[in-house]
């Protein structure tokens, strides 16, 4: 093992250990975010395909002759897909190494900013492990996440609303 010889190699070994300790946090957040993005993309695809097809079936419209309806019907799904891309790309900010963080400060898991512990909330990631693994998320990111969750919910409801409206129009005929 080359990093067991000499005093300089101790630093390398500790850096390696740090990277191993730090990686589960990042991976967990990353997996959660990518799963969310996949779910969003799925909803978006269903809406983008489902809404125009529903319009075409319900009103017996040839979408090839009326591209406006096709584009309009795809819009809710496309907006959701765009949101999915945004979720996928978010939180890519580079993180400082653990030894660069001053005492009493934490690094936000989402935006990567170093902030005082009072500027955010640390929550436990895994209750099974004896080591207290926490993810620190700043207040700004918590607010942003809440807002994003609400936007997704509103978009989903809007998609459902469009479908409900179409069904109502069909029934009223």
Residues that bind Zn ion (CB under 5 A): 108, 110-111, 138, 141
Min dist. Cβ of residue 67 to Zn ion (A): 42
CB nearer to Zn ion: pick between 66 and 113: 113
Min dist. Cβ of residue 152 to Zn ion (A): 19
Q: Residue 75: which of 105, 112, 40, 48 has the closest Cα?
A: 48
Min dist. Cβ of residue 113 to Zn ion (A): 5
CB nearer to Zn ion: pick between 43 and 110: 110
CB nearer to Zn ion: pick between 74 and 107: 107
Q: Residue 138: which of 171, 116, 160 has the closest Cα?
A: 116
CB nearer to Zn ion: pick between 5 and 92: 92
Q: Residue 166: which of 47, 81, 83 has the closest Cα?
A: 47
CA 37-39-22 angle, to 5 degrees, is 45
Q: Which two tokens stand for residue 171?
A: 């029934």
The 3-state DSSP composition of the chain as helix, strand, coil percent (nearest 5) reads: 70, 10, 20
Min dist. Cβ of residue 111 to Zn ion (A): 3
């Amino acid at each position: 093992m080359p990093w067991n010889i000499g005093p300089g190699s101790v630093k390398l070994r500790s850096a390696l250990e740090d990277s191993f300790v730090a990686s589960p946090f990042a991976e967990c957040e990353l997996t959660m975010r990518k799963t969310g993005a996949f779910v969003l993309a799925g909803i978006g695809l269903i809406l983008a395909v489902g809404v125009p097809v529903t319009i075409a079936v319900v009103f017996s419209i040839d979408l090839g002759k009326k591209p406006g309806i096709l584009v309009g019907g795809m819009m809710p799904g496309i907006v959701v897909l765009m949101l999915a891309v945004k979720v996928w790309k978010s939180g890519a900010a580079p993180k400082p190494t653990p030894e660069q963080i001053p005492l009493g400060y934490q690094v936000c898991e989402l935006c990567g900013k170093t902030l005082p512990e009072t500027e955010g909330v640390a929550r436990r990631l895994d209750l099974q492990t004896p080591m207290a693994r926490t993810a620190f998320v700043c207040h700004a990111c918590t607010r942003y996440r809440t807002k994003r969750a609400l936007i997704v919910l509103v978009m989903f409801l809007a998609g459902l609303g469009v479908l409900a409206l179409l069904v109502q129009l069909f029934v009223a005929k």
